[in-house]
Structure formats: structure tokens, C-alpha cells
């Protein structure tokens, strides 16, 4: 049972991690993209449509990544080139993505999809508990972990990463030094869009293997909260994604567990389980979103820590001639 819970936690955390690590790079450049939810849902429907049409889930994954990157460039053009309000534009992108994906995916509802194959390393995958968790996962699980450490190395160990962070901290000074603020931000937003597209593809090619309208179900908003929760640090995004994934899965297991199956537990734990089982399922389903709100409230209460870690130019449009 423990092994199954850990596997489902990893599956639930992967799309959150992919979307959040992409958004972290975007925000490090000083751009606030609230359109992550819309990008994820567009990646989900594109990945499903292409994989179902071709029978090849790898083509679906590639298409979803490209779709996310291209969709994000619409946002980039508006907020970077035209200097529109980033909050309003991001919200509009989410609404556009939800509506457009519903129209594209209308004919795919109820159809069985094509799943991405899982990797299976002989002998290692047969180890108890950790075998299937570490050595028999889908490719996006491994890619999400690699991306965390790659982004951490890029931001803090490379000259380009340092330049990107300097733009996020003070785009005016960076421009005065001859750095192309717009170019760096375009690439950052494109990377974030590609990650969001992959996160969406994970939902339809791994998580459920089917298309359901609005199936991102607020995961894009949780990914945005994860970036703040992590104080714009990649390794903390990894920990946060698995924490939120655990909250999502544990509440589902609580709802599905029969109290008779828990009679062997010590009396205090059984009584606690009995109390939890008496809580309405609707409240338990809202726990991931309540946890998101709680985390943001706790973080915002420490204003000094928030100001230290937040990119100073975040959300502020940059116009060179002003």
C-alpha cells in the first residue's frame, strides 16, 4: 500500500514540478506569467490530440511542448514588446487557453488515449518500496528532476543565468550595461511555456491517458504558488511540488479507505482515522487549494524575507526609451 501511495504522489507532483520550474525561470527574468493554467491545458489537449491521431505518444509530447512554447509567445509579445499589464494579460491567456482547449478537444472527450511508456530497469525496479518509485517511472518524472538541478546550475553557476537574474532584479541597470532585456525575457517566457506544455502533456499521456475539459483543475495556479513558496529557489520548488502532491493523494486515499481496513491500527490512530473519515469528501478534495492559500498567507506575513527573495522588477513592464 505504501508503495502505491508513493507512486501516485510522484505522478501527481510531476506536472506541478514541471510547470513551477518553468515559471521560476520566467519570474527570475522579471516577468509574471499568470497564464500557466492556460498553457498547461493547451499542452494537455495538443499532446492528447497528436498522440491519438498518430498513435505515437512521443510525438504528442513534442507537440505539447511546442504548443506551450508558442502559446507563451503570445503572452510574451503583449507584455514584453507592447508592455501591457502582466497580471491582466496572464489572466486573459488562461481564459483563452481554457476556452480554446475546450473547443479543440470537444471531439476527443471519452476516447482512450495513448500512454507514454515507463522505463523499467531490470533488477533495480524489483527492489521493495523504492524499486518502482525510482527505476520504473515515466520519462517526464526523470526529466522534471533533471530540470530542477539544470535550472539551479544555470541560474547560479553560469554567466547567462547571472545576467537573467540581474534583469529580474533591475532591468533598467541591465539595459544600461548593454544587455538585451527583451531577448532574455522572450527566451525565459518560451522556456516557461515549454515546461507548462510538458506539464499538460503529463496529464493526458501519463496521469489519466484521456482528455477531459478543464482537466488541469487549478494545477497552474498551484504551480504559481509553489514558486512563491520556494522563494524562487529551484530545490525548494522540488520539495514543495512533492509536498502538494502528497496532500492531493493522501486526501484521496483517506476518502477511499474503509475503516475496517484500519482496525489493526493502534487505538489513537484508528480514532483519528475515524474522525477524518467523518469529514465531508468535498472538504478533503479542497485541501490542496486550502494548503496553497495557507502557505501564501504564512509567506506574506514575513515581509522582510519576501522582499529579499523576490525579483525587484517582477511584474514591472520595461520600455527602453522611458
CA 312-316-320 angle, to 5 degrees, is: 105
With both helix axes pointing from N to C terminus, report the angle between 219-229 and 181-202 in degrees, rounded to the nearest 10. Answer: 130
Percentage of residues of the chain with pLDDT beyond 90: 55
- Cell triple for 59: 510525438
What integer pLDDT is reported at residue 260 of this predicted model? 53
* Cα distance between residue 188 and residue 196, in whole Å: 12
Neighbouring CB atoms inside 10 A of 9's CB total 21
Each residue of 13-48: pLDDT tens digit?
999 999 999 999 999 999 999 999 999 999 999 999
Q: Number of C-alpha atoms within 13 angstroms, CB side, residue 132?
A: 13
b/e sequence 111-145, b meaning 16+ C-beta within 10 Å: eebbbbeeeeeeeebeeeeebbbbbbbbbbbebbb
Question: Would you say residue 149 has pLDDT above 70?
Answer: yes
Q: Number of C-alpha atoms within 13 angstroms, CB side, residue 182?
A: 12
The domain spans of the chain are: 2-309
Each residue of 52-69: pLDDT tens digit?
999 999 999 999 999 999
Nearest to 244 by CA among 2, 3, 19, 4: 19
279 vs 28: which has the higher pLDDT: 28
What integer pLDDT is reported at residue 249 of this predicted model? 79
* Cα distance between residue 222 and residue 301, in whole Å: 19
> Alpha helix locations (H) across the chain?
2-28, 36-54, 57-76, 86-104, 130-135, 139-157, 159-169, 171-176, 181-202, 219-229, 234-256, 267-277, 281-285, 287-301, 303-309
- Contact 37/199 with Cβ under 8 angstroms? no
Each residue of 213-227: pLDDT tens digit?
889 888 999 999 899
* Cα distance between residue 201 and residue 66, in whole Å: 11
- Contact 47/200 with Cβ under 8 angstroms? yes
What integer pLDDT is reported at residue 264 of this predicted model? 58
What integer pLDDT is reported at residue 122 of this predicted model? 76
CATH code for residues 2-309? 1.10.3470
248 vs 140: which has the higher pLDDT: 140
Q: The whole model's pTM is what?
A: 0.89
The DSSP bridge partners found for residue 210 are: 112
pLDDT band at 160; cut points 50, 70, 90:
very high
* Cα distance between residue 36 and residue 220, in whole Å: 5
* Cα distance between residue 289 and residue 226, in whole Å: 12
Question: Would you say residue 186 has pLDDT above 60?
Answer: yes
- Contact 119/140 with Cβ under 8 angstroms? no
Residue 210 DSSP symbol: B
pLDDT band at 258; cut points 50, 70, 90:
low
Neighbouring CB atoms inside 10 A of 37's CB total 28
- Cell triple for 66: 511546442
Question: Would you say residue 275 has pLDDT above 70?
Answer: no
Mean pLDDT of the chain: 86
Amino acid at each position: 500500500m505504501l508503495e502505491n501511495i508513493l507512486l501516485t504522489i510522484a505522478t501527481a507532483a510531476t506536472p506541478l514540478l514541471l510547470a513551477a520550474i518553468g515559471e521560476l525561470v520566467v519570474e527570475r527574468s522579471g516577468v509574471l506569467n499568470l497564464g500557466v493554467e492556460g498553457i498547461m491545458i493547451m499542452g494537455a489537449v495538443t499532446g492528447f490530440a497528436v498522440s491519438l491521431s498518430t498513435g505515437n505518444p512521443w510525438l504528442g509530447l513534442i507537440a505539447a511542448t511546442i504548443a506551450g512554447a508558442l502559446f507563451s509567445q503570445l503572452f510574451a509579445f503583449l507584455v514584453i514588446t507592447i508592455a501591457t499589464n502582466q497580471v491582466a494579460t496572464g489572466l486573459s491567456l488562461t481564459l483563452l487557453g481554457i476556452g480554446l482547449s475546450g473547443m479543440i478537444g470537444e471531439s476527443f472527450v471519452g476516447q482512450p488515449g495513448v500512454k507514454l511508456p515507463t522505463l523499467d530497469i531490470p533488477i533495480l525496479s524489483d527492489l521493495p518500496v523504492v524499486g518502482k518509485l525510482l527505476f520504473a517511472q515515466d520519462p517526464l518524472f526523470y526529466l522534471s528532476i533533471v530540470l530542477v538541478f539544470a535550472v539551479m546550475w544555470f541560474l547560479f553557476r553560469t554567466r547567462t543565468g547571472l545576467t537573467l537574474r540581474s534583469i529580474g532584479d533591475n532591468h533598467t541597470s541591465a539595459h544600461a550595461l548593454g544587455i538585451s532585456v527583451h531577448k532574455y525575457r522572450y527566451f525565459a517566457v518560451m522556456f516557461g511555456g515549454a515546461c507548462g506544455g510538458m506539464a499538460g502533456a503529463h496529464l493526458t499521456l501519463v496521469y489519466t491517458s484521456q482528455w477531459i475539459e478543464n482537466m488541469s483543475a487549478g494545477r497552474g495556479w498551484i504551480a504559481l504558488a509553489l514558486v512563491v513558496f520556494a522563494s524562487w529557489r529551484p530545490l525548494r520548488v522540488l520539495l514543495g511540488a512533492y509536498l502538494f502532491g502528497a496532500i492531493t493523494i493522501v486526501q484521496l486515499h483517506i476518502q477511499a479507505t474503509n475503516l475496517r481496513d484500519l482496525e489493526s491500527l493502534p487505538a489513537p490512530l484508528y480514532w483519528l482515522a475515524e474522525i477524518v473519515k467523518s469529514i465531508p469528501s468535498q472538504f478533503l478534495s479542497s485541501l490542496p487549494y486550502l494548503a496553497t492559500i495557507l502557505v501564501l498567507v504564512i509567506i506574506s506575513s514575513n515581509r522582510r524575507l519576501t522582499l529579499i527573495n523576490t525579483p525587484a522588477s517582477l511584474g514591472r513592464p520595461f520600455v527602453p526609451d522611458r
